[in-house]
Chains A and B, each alone.
Chain A
Amino acid sequence: MSLDLKKIPAESFERVHIDSSHAERISKPSLSFWQDAWLRIRKNKAAIASIFILAFIIIMAFVGPMVSPHDAETQTITHANLPPKVPGLEKLGIFDGVGTLAGKEVDLYEMKKVDTYYWFGTDGLGRDMFSRAWEGTQISLLIAFVAALIDMVIGVAYGGISGYYGGRVDDMMQRVVEILYGIPTLVIVILMLLFMEPGVTAIIIAITLTGWIGMSRIVRGQVLKFKNQEFVLASRTLGASNGRIISKHILPNILGVIIINTMFTIPTAIFFEAFLSFIGLGLQAPDASLGTLINDGYKVIRFQPHILLYPSIILSLLMIAFNLLGDGLRDALDPKMKD
């Protein structure tokens, strides 16, 4: 079937004007960088779930010790090493306070004449593991967040400047890094811990002292990779300032790597703290972190698995959530993935 164009009245046609002033108009609604990221991260179910898990853990870290009927510090020595017992669930045959003692299954609550409930059990000094686990989470999160933040700020600034300016500046800065890098972290940390009053601050300082170096090297590598690429050269040719090139062109491109790396700094920091407890330089008692709790627990893994189990679950959930969120953010923040 063919159309006879001549039969259509001429009035039906309208002249289209090509307005050159609109050539640059963007038809999509204008979204800021973060709005755009949020739009995309919303589609990532894993990332959203992670946000909820993180929120839950952070809230519990503060609320947990308050809702527990037992205080984290109180030692009820007669209640030592009790397995978990939860009202309601005990009737199902789980969390019923039955544990092994000398190879036999016994109801330890009955044996020790305890008529209260410890939801996560108790440790070797009869302290409530529920309160201790959440208070430990608080301290671990504090150490991890502060350390990761400091690492990120120092690492990005240092690596960025070094990579971007290159030449002699880069060379000098890399020599400094190499010197710091060449001293095994462990030595620095132990020296620091021997010099300083032991505690959370000392551990944070010790972790960040060399922790930022990894970030700075990665950032430098990325900056080196991008600074000579066409779009940066184009921007420079057009007279963009260094500040503009860094913030508008380089930074968005390396944000993914920075975030992923930060997401890894958090578990690294928590782990390093646990490692310090393993060699006996961790937090000072009676402070506890997830690391010290796990360190206490792994030794009795065969007999009182609950002491290791709950802090490990919290730790693993934190790690999984941080990682999936990190991935989600990375996908969302990558400017090349705009649709």
Chain B
Amino acid sequence: MKNSKLAWLISLLLFVALFLAACGGDKEESTDTTTDTEDTDATTEEVATDEEQVLNLIMNAEIPTMDSALVTDAVGFDLLNNVNEGLYRLNQDNVAEPAISDGEPTISEDGLVYTFTIRDANWSDGSPVTANDFEFAWKRAMNPDTASEYGPYMMDGVIKNATEIMEGSMEYTELGVKALDEKTLEVTLEKPTPYFLSLMSFGTFLPQKEEFVTAQGANYAKNSEAVLYNGPFTLANWDGTGLSWQLLKNEEYWDKDTVKLTEINYDVVKEPGTGVNLYSEGQKDKAPLTGEFAMQYAADPDLIHESETSVFYFKYNQERLGEKTPLANVNIREAISKAFNKQDLVDVVLANGSVPANYLIPKDFTFDTDGNDFRDVNGDMAEFNADEAKAAFEKGLSDLGVSELQIELLNGDTESAKKTGEYLKNQLETNLPGLTVKLKEVPFNVRLDLDTNQDYDMQIAGWGPDYQDPYTFMNLWLTGGGNNKMSFSNADYDKLVSSSVNELALDPEARWQALADAEKLLIEEEYGIGPIYQRGLMHLQKPYVKGIVAHPFGGDYSYKWAYIEGKN
């Protein structure tokens, strides 16, 4: 009898298995959403010669929008850079060079009026790209109805009348950009802007075809069919919110002979381990690595290192909710800036190719006219020195008349941020006896809120450049600046930094020196911030993938020059 019971259970188990298998059969037929991609895969495989020009990539987040006026995030800028093209484009050496602009513009003597000639180029629907497409797109980005975030942010103080439009005292149509005819675009600046041409490669300054945008209305850029492309690739199979999409070679692109890839397949993978698994399975050609993985793949020939231009630093808040904090004391700030070992942090804790930062303006980012790195001017500042840190801390404590100090350290809540926070807390407490660091880890939005209200003592913050000039970093700590939010104020600093965009704007050498002096003042005299590291990235990349260009700002990568060689 016991056996019969068991037999029954076993048969039940089999029944359940069969039932599930049957259910599965149904579902297999009904899951047809991905067949499009599969079909294209299959056909390309059939016609594949020995060098199939298909790249398979991983993205860490969805595309929030493909509207160049509304885009604010890294994924959006990255894709726009590959499917569209502005007046300028960053080349393989990360120098902005003319793209849709036919050669260099003519610049008026006072440096205020730029006249661009538009080259013969087409949109993906076959119609020509005109000067009006730029005028329309830029004005649209300033139109209050569009409610663009990056438009006003990038144009404020650069393009004529942008500030007034933002304040509401002028109509958006009065923006200093004008199509003189089909092929001639005239841009008037507010004041001479040395980095203006590098701005022209940025996503916010891309063209949009008025006719198309108006016809699409609210539908514009909702999915891959509702956008026009004038860049090396076109976007396909994107439903607006999905986790996968494709880039296809744009046959209408003016420089299509340079483009070798026929297809790039993207999938959003948020879990680094899954990305690595897909890479080792051969489904993906490139996978980002977090620290733990990078360490293990250190000897792998596929490992590549990309340096980034984001710099992370301690923000010392001198006035919390209207009251002075201990960090208003310069000695305390000096002590903290010098009290942690940055080399160990990047080697052991982060291990992702980041480098210690003893500076604010990142390495390999801006160069003078002779091609020398801005970094060469000031070199390293506020380096790790436990003894000096301790001495400064004791001095600071006696200034404040206390024997110990508790400071709150506001931090993000990502994995690597947490690890960094724990390490820094330990370092500071070990090297500065009498200091207690209280960690506060919060999601990004909460941190922004606390930052805006200046409701913190000290935080680990980071900044990535929006254009290729030290000013994108240096203007952060102008007195009363929108991103200051720590009550840093120094008249000399303000004078040096604002001179770089005013009286010194057309004198590159003096300007360079002024910015370098300001950096020194900020970091080594005032200890206004405490630099920590410049972020790096590690990737696994198949050896047959060639020619991907990584950019220091704007879109992260260009695939215009990428190709596959030696896969088979």
Contacts and interface: CB of A to CB of B under 8 A. Distances in A.
B452 to A, nearest CB: 16
Given A80-B348, A125-B422, A303-B292, A284 B441 contact: yes
Given A102-B300, A194-B443, A281-B413, A286 B295 contact: no
B16 interface: no
Interface string B425-448: 110000000000001111100100
Interface in A280-296: 280-281, 284-286
Interface string B74-94: 000000000000000000000
B296 interface: yes
Nearest to A197: B440
A124 B296 contact: no
B418 A285 contact: yes
Contacts of B426: 73, 75, 125, 286
Interface string A76-99: 011011000000000000000000
Given A102-B300, A125-B349, A280-B414, A75 B272 contact: no
A63 interface: no
Contacts of A102: 295-300
B344 A77 contact: yes
Nearest to B423: A125
B299 A285 contact: no
A153 to B, nearest CB: 31
A198 interface: yes
B290 A285 contact: no
Interface string B390-414: 0000000000000000000000011
Interface string A166-191: 00000000000000000000000000
B406 to A, nearest CB: 15
Given A75-B423, A280-B413, A303 B439 contact: no
A300 interface: yes
A101 interface: yes
Interface string B268-302: 00001100000000000000001111011111100
Interface residues of B, number: 32
A239 interface: no
Contacts of A124: 291-292, 348-349, 419
A286 B429 CA distance: 13
A104 B300 CA distance: 11
Contacts of A104: 299
B292 A300 contact: yes
B231 interface: no
Contacts of B292: 124, 299-300, 303-304
Contacts of A126: 348
B439 A284 contact: yes
Interface in A299-329: 299-300, 302-304
Contacts of B299: 102-104
A124 B415 CA distance: 12
A71 to B, nearest CB: 11
A125 B419 contact: yes
Interface string B258-273: 0000000000000011
Nearest to B347: A77
Contact of B441 (A285, A299, A303): A285
Contact of B296 (A78, A284, A303): A303
A286 B273 contact: no
B425 A286 contact: yes
Contacts of A78: 348
A299 B273 contact: yes
A194 B299 CA distance: 42
A126 B341 CA distance: 15
A300 B296 CA distance: 10
A102 to B, nearest CB: 4
B448 to A, nearest CB: 13
Contacts of B439: 284-286
A81 to B, nearest CB: 8
A285 B422 contact: yes
A285 B443 contact: no
B297 to A, nearest CB: 7
A135 to B, nearest CB: 14
A279 to B, nearest CB: 9
A284 B412 CA distance: 11
Contact of A286 (B291, B349, B422): B422
Nearest to B413: A280
Nearest to B422: A285
Nearest to B271: A299
B554 interface: no
A103 B296 contact: yes
Given A80-B348, A285-B439, A285-B441, A101 B414 contact: no
Contacts of B293: 303
Contacts of A302: 296
Contacts of B414: 280
A280 B443 contact: yes
13 contacts: A75-B423, A77-B341, A101-B296, A102-B295, A102-B297, A103-B296, A125-B348, A125-B422, A281-B413, A285-B425, A286-B425, A299-B290, A300-B292
Interface of A: 73, 75, 77-78, 80-81, 100-104, 124-126, 194, 198, 280-281, 284-286, 299-300, 302-304
Closest 10 CB pairs of A and B: A102-B299, A280-B413, A285-B422, A300-B292, A303-B296, A75-B426, A77-B344, A102-B298, A80-B348, A77-B348
Given A77-B423, A125-B419, 13 more contacts: A75-B426, A77-B341, A100-B296, A101-B295, A103-B299, A103-B300, A194-B443, A280-B414, A281-B413, A285-B418, A285-B422, A299-B290, A299-B292
